[in-house]
Amino acid sequence: MCRIISGGDASGHNDSQRFYKATRVLINSTINSIIEVVNNNINYNAFKGEKVLPVSNTISANDLKTKGVAAIDMAVRESEEAVVTVRGKSRYVVLPIEKYNYLRECELEAAINEAKRDYEEGRYVTETVEEHLKRVTNA
């Protein structure tokens, strides 16, 4: 640590103390600025009320209306998804078809694995069609 040795001023503070105080003020100011930027960039998920960071690849509904598919192409070029905003709120996600198909495969694979676990653990019912319809319709 570097220490500045100097005489004090009329307030009794030496250069080292003034430097420390100025540095601390600068650091606190910088931290507060960063916190403010982060807080201002946090959006609320319109459906769940959860805080989420904004997505950089957004397309406004107006841009989509005026530019059409070209707006989507530009947005998904940078990343594999884009969010369509309506009146400033995130409403839809646009994905390339390959990524959508991959996500659907993952979802179906998870459903198959869940059904296999249910079967292995005996969580199923053996019944006729009539019995099944009666059970599910509460008749």
Tell me the pTM: 0.49
Q: How far apart are CA 97 and CA 90, in angstroms?
A: 20
At 127 the pLDDT is 92
Low-confidence stretches of the chain (pLDDT beneath 50): 1-8, 43-47, 53
| SS3 label, residue 101 | helix
